[in-house]
Structure 1
Amino acid sequence: MGIFSRSDAVAENTPVSPDLAALTGDYTVDPSHTTLGFVARHAMVTNVKGQFREFTGSLHLDGSDPSRSTASLDIVMDSIDTGSADRDGHLKSADFFRTDEFPTMTFRSTRIEAAGGDDYRVTGDLSLLGVTRQVTIDLEFQGAAKDPFGNERVGFEGRGEILRSDWGVTWNAALETGGVLVSDRIKLRFDISAVKSA
């Protein structure tokens, strides 16, 4: 899946967070404490929020050299949840995600850069409906902690935007008052908790 940036350019030789520099290692994304969400404009007047409930993910963090870090996600498309069973069924259909034919959406990072302070820019390949396109996401390091069970955790918050039409998801309906039912632009929102591998 993806990650975005707060500025158009990342400064060269940007210092990394000393907190993150001490956390080099391999991590597994914890689905029970992670949200992979999205927001779409509906009927030109409101936002509809949703998320994917089933996914797996892994991170390799190189705190001293973020460019050597990697991230990957595999998302089960049938796990989409917008709070409406009818809407979720429509999203799984041939009008949108064709989940019977394309059950998984994947993200594989291709470049990670420090953007100053606790901010990072992650660029990678997002594959959906047999189409792969590059996305970039702003990711903010939220901190690290050892939980009561002895797990070493790291947290990140990410956000970005994509056009669903770039992946061939073009279904829509015209409104009598002008405009369309579903926005092409989709906002992505991530809250990620990952556990360090033993």
Structure 2
Amino acid sequence: MGIFGRKESKPQPAAAAPAAAGADLASLTGDYTIDPAHTTIGFVARHAMVTNVKGSFTDFTGTLHLDGADPSKSTATIDVTMDSIETGNADRDGHLKSSDFFKTDEFPTMTFRSTKAESLGGDDYRITGDLSILGVTKPLTIDLEFNGAAKDPFGNERVGFEGKAEILRSEWGLTWNAALETGGVLVSDKIKLNFDISAIKNA
């Protein structure tokens, strides 16, 4: 049943199955807040055409609305503080915050607002929305896998997802680069995005 519940392995009479499914759907349908302490919003860029540089954002907020009866009505929002970018190198982080890249003084926030959600079958889903960076808004499609639902030791009802997407940074005005003597460029245009999300159901 995927994102909104799974069928139990215990055999049941055919007439009872819809009721059990409905109970699972009802328990997961609702509004959720993304837990930043257990969520990763990351990216990977190709550097000098020979290796990958990985980074993430450590300061963000987000919400999910899951609709068990109709997954297409599910929604997601994320707001990311661009100054929270981390790549494991302070000089590189400073360069990324500068006018060559994210211009964080002028554009402190990156946002995503979903416009469409769809089931791909099983635990796989796809969400499309508007990604805004540097004041430029372009569509972004994220493929998601539902990792399950559980109640943690503190009584929080959680759901988890893993997601991935690819963008061309130049489409958002991120065009800085440097040519290599051997050919090619220092930073790839294609950026891989990855998401590991834990969200808590609102009371």
Report the Cα distance in structure 1 between the residues aligned to 2:141 and 2:127, rounded to whole angstroms: 6
2:149 is equivalent to residue 136 of structure 1: no
Q: Distance in 2 between matches of 1:184 and 1:27?
A: 33
Deviations 1:52-71 (A, max 9, x none): 00000000000221111110
What amino acid does structure 2 have at the position aligned with 1:149? Answer: F
The unaligned stretches of length 5 or more in structure 2 are 7-24
Q: CA deviation at 1:16?
A: 5.4
Alignment correspondent of 2:80: 75
Question: Which of 31, 43, 47 is residue 48 of structure 2 equivalent to?
Answer: 43
Asked if residue 86 in structure 1 is aligned to residue 72 in structure 2, the reply is no
The answer as to 2:154 corresponding to 1:168 is no
Secondary structure (helix, strand or coil) at the match of 2:126 reads: strand
Q: Does 1:19 pair with 2:5? A: yes
Query: Residues 105-163 of structure 1: CA distance to partner in whole angstroms, max 9, x if unpaired?
Result: 00000000000000000000000101000010100000000000000000000001000
TM-score for the superposition, normalised by structure 2? 0.89
Q: How many residues align?
A: 184
CA distance in 2, matches of 1:92, 1:66: 37
Shift of the 149–17 alpha-carbon distance from structure 1 to 2, 3 Å rule, reads closer
CA contact (8 A) 2:144 2:162 kept: yes
- Give the 4+ runs in structure 1 shifted more than 4 A: 15-18
Q: Deviations over 1:14-66 (max 9, x none)?
A: x7555173410000000000000000000000000000000000000002211
What does 1:1-198 correspond to in 2, within 5 Å?
Answer: 17=3, 19=5, 21-22=25-26, 23-198=28-203
Report Cα offsets for 1:2-25 as digits up to 9, x if no partner: xxxxxxxxxxxxx75551734100
Contact 2:85 2:93 (8 Å CA) reproduced? yes
* Alpha-carbon distance change, 70 to 18 in structure 1, aligned in 2, over 3 angstroms: closer
Aligned AA for 1:29? I
Aligned-residue sequence identity (percent) comes to 77
Kindly provide the amino acid, as one letter, of the partner of residue 5 in structure 2.
D
RMSD: 1.1
Amino acid at match of 2:166: E
- RCO (CA 8 Å, sep 6+): is it higher in 1 or 2? 1
Contact 1:16 1:63 in 2 (8 A): no
1:9 maps to none
Between the aligned partners of 1:18 and 1:131, the Cα distance in structure 2 is 33
Computing the radius of gyration over CA atoms, which structure comes out larger, 1 or 2? Answer: 2
Q: Which runs of 5+ in 1 are unaligned?
A: 1-14
